[in-house]
Every structure is written in structure tokens, then in C-alpha cells.
């Protein structure tokens, strides 16, 4: 954990961002450049929260867990370290929030990009995007973050929480398709589990096959979504 002690100037290296100017708290950064106007609005607080977490993610990507410090986050976000400590008690608290924020952000982006598509097309797109994310630097870092929260923070159930959240999101999407008359999924919870387990199982298998397995993800995603929804249609027709 980094120290809360302050100094009037922060040293620069070839990899560090420009240091912020210090003020009365020694590390208040840009907070010192603007007069206080009372408590921030809900929107302002949300923007600052996102700014801290986005900076934390970028610092993790660039420096890894071993070299992650609040000083680096403060410099990257161009805010004061005191501002970070006012919202997060320490590294563990921030990492837990970062995991929740990153998972939800990725999910929201994927859903938004496919919201106007037909069901099979949408789930084809989502399967492909999930596979792309899993094998990207962001995805691999997210896996490490889940492990860190489980092991270092002593949570022990972070991965289970991520999976449960994903299952709820998928089941909700199936339910909304049913309500809109765009699909007929007889058991949304079971369907969500089958969808997620098939997707994650393929990811593990593809990773074991190396480049050949990873290169075919677009074709696999298309075939998987078509097969999945044909199976659902078959269940409905037999009932």
C-alpha cells in the first residue's frame, strides 16, 4: 500500500505521467485548482468515481499488480491521492470496486452494440465479442483481477459472483425476448446456464488448441448461436 505522506513535487520517469501540483493537503492535485462549491452532485461524484477506476485499470495494464500504487493512479487521473483515499479505504477496497466496474462496463458495451439485432444475430455477436475479450490483454487482466480479489483480498467467491451476475444478465435477456415475442425460451435460467457454460467451455478448449483454435471464433460463434436457438425451437415444438 502506498503511503499517504505528501511532497510538493513528484519525480518523473520515462514511464510516469506528469505529476499534479500539490496544495494544502499536499496531494490534492486538480482539486486545488478549483474552489470548493460544497458537496459534488451525484453526476459529478459518478464521473469522478469512473475516472479513478479507469485510471486504476490503465495503471494495472501498464504496470501490473506488483507496481500498482495510488500515486500512479493519482498521476494518471490527474487528481490528488487524498481524493482517492476519500472514496476507497485502500488497495483491497479499490480492487473490489474495480472488478465490479470493469465487468459491468464490458457487459454494457457488448449489449449496447447488439441491442438492435435479431436474437440469433445478437447472440452470435455477443459470443464472438466475449471470446475476443477473454483472449485480449483486458480479458487476461480481468482474470488476474478476479484471482487477486479471491486470494489477496480473501473474498473467496469473486469468480462465483461474476458468473452469477452473468447468468442473471443472460436470463434477463431471454425473458425480455420472450416478453417482446421475439423468442420462446421455455426456461430462461436453464437456457442461460447452458449458453454460458458452452461459451466458457469452448474458450478453454480453444485456448488449449493455440492459434488455430482462437482464429476460428467468428465461425464458431455463428454456428453456436444457430445451434442453440434451433435447439430451443425444437424444445418448444415438441412441447
pLDDT digit string (tens) for 74-87?
999 999 999 999 99
Of 239, 233, 218, 46, which is closest to residue 121 (Cα–Cα)? Answer: 218
pLDDT of residue 35: 41
Could you please state the CATH topology (level 3) that the domain comprising 91-238 is classified under: Tetracycline Repressor; domain 2 (1.10.357)
The architecture that CATH gives domain 1-88 is Orthogonal Bundle (1.10)
Residue range 205-230, pLDDT digits in tens = 988 887 766 778 999 999 999 999 99
CA distances from residue 105 to 63, 109, 173 in whole angstroms, order as listed:
21, 6, 17
- pLDDT of 165 above 90: yes
pLDDT in tens, 91-138: 999 999 999 999 999 999 999 999 889 999 999 999 999 999 999 999
**Average pLDDT of 130-158?**
88
Domain map of the chain by residue range?
1-88, 91-238
Residue 153 has pLDDT above 70, yes or no: no
d(CA 125, CA 114): 7
Amino acid at each position: 500500500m502506498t503511503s499517504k505522506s505528501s511532497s510538493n513535487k513528484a519525480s518523473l520517469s520515462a514511464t510516469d505521467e506528469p505529476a499534479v501540483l500539490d496544495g494544502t493537503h499536499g496531494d490534492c492535485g486538480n482539486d486545488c485548482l478549483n474552489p470548493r462549491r460544497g458537496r459534488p452532485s451525484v453526476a459529478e461524484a459518478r464521473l469522478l468515481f469512473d475516472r479513478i477506476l479507469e485510471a486504476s485499470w490503465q495503471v494495472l495494464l501498464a504496470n501490473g499488480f506488483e507496481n500498482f500504487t495510488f500515486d500512479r493512479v493519482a498521476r494518471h487521473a490527474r487528481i490528488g491521492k487524498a481524493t482517492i483515499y476519500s472514496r476507497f479505504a485502500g488497495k483491497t477496497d479499490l480492487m473490489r470496486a474495480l472488478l465490479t466496474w470493469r465487468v459491468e462496463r464490458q457487459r454494457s458495451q457488448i449489449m449496447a452494440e447488439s441491442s438492435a439485432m435479431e436474437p440469433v444475430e445478437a447472440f452470435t455477436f455477443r459470443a464472438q465479442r466475449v471470446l475476443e475479450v477473454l483472449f485480449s490483454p483486458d480479458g487476461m487482466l480481468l482474470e488476474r483481477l478476479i484471482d487477486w480479489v479471491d486470494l489477496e483480498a480473501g473474498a473467496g467467491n469473486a469468480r462465483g459472483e461474476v458468473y452469477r451476475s452473468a447468468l442473471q444478465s443472460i436470463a434477463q435477456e431471454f425473458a425480455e425476448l420472450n416478453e417482446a415475442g421475439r423468442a420462446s425460451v421455455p426456461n430462461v435460467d436453464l437456457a442461460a446456464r447452458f449458453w454460458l457454460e458452452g461459451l466458457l467451455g469452448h474458450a478453454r478448449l480453444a485456448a488449449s488448441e493455440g492459434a488455430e483454435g482462437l482464429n476460428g471464433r467468428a465461425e464458431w460463434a455463428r454456428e453456436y448461436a444457430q445451434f442453440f436457438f434451433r435447439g430451443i425451437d425444437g424444445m418448444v415444438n415438441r412441447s
